[in-house]
Structure 1
């Protein structure tokens, strides 16, 4: 028996059929994915175990009762408000929360505590899109639908590695192009990512060059007489000012890293295809100029009237699974619930009356970066962090850890006992996790879906909405927070949206306010608006105007592009990114062995010329640093990044790779309008890391190697780790036991004088407990094969050889995590004649499940073709 629920990862919002036994399938009836799942979604069953779970409230390391914990939270927040005012308390939330959780949190702190200091990791993700939408449309409205990607003639992907970060949407785009080869794909990104595999045109723009490029496009729209004057005259203000600013900045387009042929090819595609969808994501938003970049994109669609009709429009793609739901209930510090405005007196009064709230803040609260600065400055006396890990994900992450520890009273709600953030708080509260909690989420196309429980809540875990409501009751507001179920919270949320609709706003789901508990349990995916009393047939916005500024018109904004930063001296432009198979700080995906096999440790992409200049070796280690922090990462030399730039994924934590926490190096510089930090534009110095030795180890025990460099990951049978040290150990046997966490068992050892490699295996009888390999250079052994031997009865000689047995050909680095297919498997298949992606899929099974690795299959075929041609 399977439960229909929704994936807890990205903003695509895929439907999932989940079994209590851990079986996971895509839901063929969900409109977002029609049965498809990515590698992360496919592996959800491997993440629902209780290892590492927080199962009881804990105060400074000692278990306490829920009554004691809730009383303490109510007491400390009440005392802070009494002694220091409402501005002294704060919540920091997450797009991992369900809408019902978000709603209760927003109601509690804004309507009853009287503080607007409630922000969320959506500030790091989509705040600039929100601000750009509000400046242009009057509301935070995503106009289009996913099906527009299948109806478009040209799709422009800006600052989005869709293939890795939103794989199922990428599959839909890929399928649309296969069905209609005339569909053109443009990728605008400083890096050549996996998404470029299906691109007809890749524009390797310099970071923050987007506004100049779209300003140039706007000028060309005018020059080619493509302005839709009927649409603009009826529905848009600000055309002349936007054109004037664009004309003044035309010269700046030549500095954005593109040549004239590339720029002209892009302009021709955009202008000649009426059905254009421009998808933008983190590469646009995570910038000190993100809001202006968003509005530069929106200007082009407004000027041509290419918005709100099938196959055309701007499309903001969210990162978190419920970033949209959080925005709908006012989860950001400058918003009210139901897309109402905190600084609008009429809106405040309407929400206050609906809630029967005693107080309502009149000005925005602290945005994420400023909130943690206020913590460090002593202005915040009580802080509650829910379902997120800001000590890893925030810029200046080391400062954030210090800031949290500076607050007199801190609470953390999470499913995991040990995270970088939970290690900093006073009171830890066990939250219900995916598969255990019940509620709704809203995806990037405004589709509301249910998350349903199919597992019991373990230990003393509780739903976040219930914990928040219990605190509200204890603070004296029982009538307002005496909820019996998430369905009751949802009905109130839907009813409040009717107030928003009556005020002429976009968000209205009042048609769902009378759902019974049974109807709520059976709620099917619904795209809003869903007003009471009538059916909205066209779920797109703005084809006929009807914007949400007071005059009903949109606003085009005059945009002045920034001067682009250039490397100074020995510094490199430092970009942060995501890997295909991991999610944020790996508290969930880190549990699935197959998801760590593709990219098992933190790394830095460096251009070959920079690597040569800096003396970096492939697979060696590099140390990067600036005034905010330091990281040690594996070197990946590639021309996918531009000369003078480098890029690292942000997922690793103190638990998985203490030296690999890259957001410690990101400056807390923010967009002046949205407050979103520029997570992709730091500057770092890089140098080869002076390792005296490198190691690789696998163990049945969970290793905790305290070494200058260590990157830990799950394997099928235990754990694996990459390590390095400054000094050669005096005793390799002792070093091996220390790294492996194995003190018993018999050691077998082989010292390879030719390579300098030390090989050690530890057995308990015939069972392999651990294996350790160390060498003066990065260790070359068949990692996947060795990891598979852990816990098995294996002769020492087989282990010490460091290669697979004769009956097990070496896989090489894993490319397809779903089907466990390695690089060497694929190379052998290509050499045997599988010279196309379909042929390679057929003979190896790679790419046949989620398809996320298909771009890499195509890259591998192209690389081997290039090598053959060079050899000939």
Structure 2
């Protein structure tokens, strides 16, 4: 826990991770750090934080920060330059390319990490003044299908439900959502509802994730079959007269056509079972639960959205809620769980290439309205290129200049190798970032512009329930870092648009954004925060979290949409959308017999530029892995803990094997977080096919045909160092931050003597060593004073030494003589025992410690929590605690339990 000066005050701000939008209290420690806690007054989380939010204080260091503008010089090296020179260069090059090739030759690629004010200014510059709609965002990769589905059904990108519905629902359906790991604060609200009110839970997912542990019904559907499942549900509801015909007649259109199409896709329980790979009994049980429960919330996330049929999946879900009138009511709504802290704010200001600001579209009336409000000289008149299309255009040489803000597309885009190669072709690659290096920077950035990081930013974000919250600065800006909106505005001024971009504060931008939302609105558009358009600077600083819409004249904001119709289509009726028959874009075949599914893990975020700084967040799953069903493991000769090479038509990765019956046969799962900066062969985005949904442009990230084969390494082990190291090119490695420095988990087939030479080259000749080259064992360490400076442990398979114990010694500082002697022996030092891999990241509790508590009589997650605190903060480790308890019931040998866990 960070020591806090009592004289320092807590700042109320908002977490920078997922779309839950948790309130955070940050109390600076006066030395560049801060103590972090949940804000009990914030309605999104009421004081609770997940493991990532709880560890925010560990991510505030400046070690890897970009602190000054930099430009690539003729030698290829990056050199520091003055802000004025950097901005002049960017503006001059953009102006030159636009004059030569037209506005379609330039583009912005933005991020859900930006604040709404940053997003607003970027969109205004590109769409209103440069005259191109080539401005898209990494939110295209996570929620664009929800946007498209909402617009088709509702006439606007409107989320009708609220978080309080999770407390009041009697049935919670999670589709393609591992909320226990990805939205744990909301998931704990659902679990509390189960415990308090007896709500039931259905989980629909090809993988049996931790979210399924508490499900009353788990439906392990075939990949891509969500549309068939909900089409079958619609048919069942209609055939059994379980629809709300009055709601349909008064408030909707298109029901009959949608029902005909649904019958063609899945016309019966039996047909639905066949299409989804489920049993008829489970399908019937799900249909009956939905039909019999008026208060039902269907929550969907990346498993639905990240699909080449994602928009149809969304509309198949929305159809069932429209047909039963279960929308916009307490405890009854469809609900999209967004992945980023400000994906919603970006949508509000037109952050997607196919939208204009304030939820307006590329229609002649909306184009003219925004043009007049902005006094925009050359407003874009048609949609721009969506993310995947944008990078394909860069690869073809059609886009010459790109400005990337706060994201890492060289890792996160599908077919990431092609995306990285495309970046190298640009005449101008400008990157606004707060990290000095990532894969996108390494792809050939010409200009780096230092942006503020979380803790230094001030502005607003909007969460998944339409709640606008303030993000407030509690740390001073380091070096010459500046707000993104200021950087964009300064370039705009140099392009000749100074009068429209003369902003003095984030509050001024917010007022303009709010005024545009109400401009010529009169209730015709869903997004309207006109009541906030005259907020003072002081009022903005003190603004409490607030829902939209909040129209002129409203005393309080409205909370719900559509319970009484009044949609945002031309006739104000909701639309049933008839989905196409679901067909996966690619087929497996003999050379690619499996399907690769990608996603997130519990304690990491995107490409780890922030979470990778936290020792405890890296301790749960420190290595990139591939999850395989036992039958597939046996078929392809894979063993748990070994390595495998995964190959698709787009790339290959080498990953640690995890054999798990929770994985579906014929499917593989790999996490997305490792990049070239923190691993040698785990850029999973390079494996993913660049197929996109025809309506949303969102890429398919869940079903790429793949093959897998064992890959053997003779040696495994680890390196610990106080500073970053360049490991030998022949090694497999994955990097994690540890207390006191960095850890590298490694595997290799090279001669151990070569490793000894390498260590001397980075650590010096004064080494304490233990070598048994014949037995395949090498351990060595260098010291600064009595503390470990660098150490290397290598051995056959898992016999390299205890990573957990050596990490403790590394972090301990000066070692006693007996500890130094025991360090290289391979035996535990006196009084030290490994706590095992971390299970509870919030409190750093390891598996061995938990297994000891179970062996001592703790028979529930609650009892373990009372004894160890594990599971008592965000609760995302509770499913793993339950599995360890269940395992202990069938294996009474505690030693075996610890080894197996």
TM-score between the two structures when normalised by the length of structure 2: 0.94
The answer to which of 548-557 and 694-703 deviates more is 694-703
Corresponding residue number in structure 2 for 1:184: 200
Is 1:726 the equivalent of 2:729?
no
Q: Out of 574, 591, 597, which is 1:575 matched to? A: 597
Q: Deviations over 1:622-675 (max 9, x none)?
A: 111122111111111111111111100000111100311100000100001100
State the Cα distance separating 1:730 from its structure 2 match: 3.4
State the Cα distance separating 1:818 from its structure 2 match: 1.7
Corresponding residue number in structure 2 for 1:746: 767
The answer to which of 95-104 and 558-567 deviates more is 558-567
**Counterparts of 2:579 and 2:825 in 1: how far apart (Å)?**
62
Q: Out of 88, 96, 113, which is 1:71 matched to? A: 88
Is 1:33 the equivalent of 2:57?
no
**Counterparts of 1:439 and 1:744 in 2: how far apart (Å)?**
52
Corresponding residue number in structure 1 for 2:384: 365
User: Does the 8 Å CA contact 1:620/1:778 hold for their aligned counterparts?
Assistant: no
Corresponding residue number in structure 2 for 1:7: 15
**Counterparts of 1:270 and 1:809 in 2: how far apart (Å)?**
50
**Counterparts of 2:520 and 2:411 in 1: how far apart (Å)?**
36
User: Does the 8 Å CA contact 2:166/2:190 hold for their aligned counterparts?
Assistant: yes
Aligned with 2:744: secondary structure? Answer: strand
Q: Out of 111, 114, 118, which is 1:94 matched to? A: 111
Distance 1:815 1:802, change over 3 A: farther
**Counterparts of 2:750 and 2:84 in 1: how far apart (Å)?**
52
State the Cα distance separating 1:150 from its structure 2 match: 0.5
State the Cα distance separating 1:718 from its structure 2 match: 1.4
**Counterparts of 1:211 and 1:472 in 2: how far apart (Å)?**
45
**Counterparts of 1:681 and 1:813 in 2: how far apart (Å)?**
30
State the Cα distance separating 1:537 from its structure 2 match: 5.9
**Counterparts of 2:796 and 2:190 in 1: how far apart (Å)?**
46
**Counterparts of 2:41 and 2:556 in 1: how far apart (Å)?**
21
Corresponding residue number in structure 1 for 2:778: 758
User: Does the 8 Å CA contact 1:156/1:185 hold for their aligned counterparts?
Assistant: yes
**Counterparts of 1:226 and 1:806 in 2: how far apart (Å)?**
69
Q: Out of 41, 47, 57, which is 1:45 matched to? A: 57
Corresponding residue number in structure 1 for 2:447: 427
State the Cα distance separating 1:208 from its structure 2 match: 0.7
**Counterparts of 1:868 and 1:290 in 2: how far apart (Å)?**
46
User: Does the 8 Å CA contact 1:500/1:507 hold for their aligned counterparts?
Assistant: no
Q: Deviations over 1:747-766 (max 9, x none)?
A: 2214397x643332333453
Aligned with 1:324: secondary structure? Answer: helix
Q: Out of 66, 77, 81, which is 1:54 matched to? A: 66
**Counterparts of 2:540 and 2:517 in 1: how far apart (Å)?**
17
Is 1:418 the equivalent of 2:440?
no
Q: Counterparts of 1:221-370 in structure 2 under 5 Å?
A: 221-250=237-266, 251=271, 253-342=273-362, 344-370=363-389
Corresponding residue number in structure 1 for 2:852: 828
State the Cα distance separating 1:261 from its structure 2 match: 1.3
Between the two proteins, the alignment pairs up a number of residues equal to: 867
User: Does the 8 Å CA contact 1:575/1:680 hold for their aligned counterparts?
Assistant: yes
**Counterparts of 1:152 and 1:617 in 2: how far apart (Å)?**
43
Distance 1:192 1:752, change over 3 A: farther
Aligned with 2:442: secondary structure? Answer: helix
Q: Counterparts of 1:627-646 in structure 2 under 5 Å?
A: 627-646=649-668
Is 1:134 the equivalent of 2:151?
yes
Is 1:159 the equivalent of 2:159?
no
Q: Deviations over 1:190-238 (max 9, x none)?
A: 1111111211111111111100000000011012211101100000101
User: Does the 8 Å CA contact 1:382/1:407 hold for their aligned counterparts?
Assistant: yes
Distance 1:752 1:201, change over 3 A: farther
Distance 1:869 1:214, change over 3 A: farther
Corresponding residue number in structure 1 for 2:26: 18
Corresponding residue number in structure 1 for 2:677: 655
State the Cα distance separating 1:566 from its structure 2 match: 5.9
User: Which blocks of at least 5 consecutive residues in structure 1 are unaligned?
Assistant: none
CA RMSD of aligned residues (A): 1.7
Aligned with 2:128: secondary structure? Answer: helix
Distance 1:359 1:779, change over 3 A: farther
Corresponding residue number in structure 2 for 1:702: 724
User: Does the 8 Å CA contact 2:616/2:841 hold for their aligned counterparts?
Assistant: yes
Q: Out of 392, 395, 399, which is 2:414 matched to? A: 395
**Counterparts of 2:134 and 2:755 in 1: how far apart (Å)?**
53
**Counterparts of 1:801 and 1:268 in 2: how far apart (Å)?**
63
State the Cα distance separating 1:57 from its structure 2 match: 0.6
Corresponding residue number in structure 1 for 2:161: 144
Corresponding residue number in structure 2 for 1:676: 698
Distance 1:551 1:219, change over 3 A: same
User: Does the 8 Å CA contact 1:581/1:598 hold for their aligned counterparts?
Assistant: yes
User: Does the 8 Å CA contact 1:209/1:561 hold for their aligned counterparts?
Assistant: no
User: Does the 8 Å CA contact 1:338/1:500 hold for their aligned counterparts?
Assistant: no
User: Does the 8 Å CA contact 1:692/1:728 hold for their aligned counterparts?
Assistant: no
Aligned with 1:460: secondary structure? Answer: coil
Is 1:812 the equivalent of 2:831?
no
Q: Out of 521, 529, 535, which is 1:515 matched to? A: 535
User: Does the 8 Å CA contact 2:117/2:510 hold for their aligned counterparts?
Assistant: yes
**Counterparts of 2:342 and 2:557 in 1: how far apart (Å)?**
24
Q: Counterparts of 1:531-680 in structure 2 under 5 Å?
A: 531-535=551-555, 538-563=558-583, 567-570=588-591, 571-680=593-702
State the Cα distance separating 1:806 from its structure 2 match: 4.0
Q: Deviations over 1:58-96 (max 9, x none)?
A: 101011111011111111111111111110110000000
**Counterparts of 1:657 and 1:769 in 2: how far apart (Å)?**
22
**Counterparts of 2:601 and 2:401 in 1: how far apart (Å)?**
35
**Counterparts of 1:818 and 1:704 in 2: how far apart (Å)?**
31
Corresponding residue number in structure 2 for 1:210: 226
The answer to which of 51-60 and 690-699 deviates more is 690-699
Aligned with 1:262: secondary structure? Answer: helix
User: Does the 8 Å CA contact 2:769/2:778 hold for their aligned counterparts?
Assistant: no
Q: Out of 491, 506, 509, which is 1:489 matched to? A: 509
Is 1:381 the equivalent of 2:400?
yes
Aligned with 2:681: secondary structure? Answer: helix
TM-score between the two structures when normalised by the length of structure 1: 0.97
**Counterparts of 1:844 and 1:638 in 2: how far apart (Å)?**
27
State the Cα distance separating 1:313 from its structure 2 match: 0.7
Corresponding residue number in structure 1 for 2:805: 785
State the Cα distance separating 1:107 from its structure 2 match: 0.4
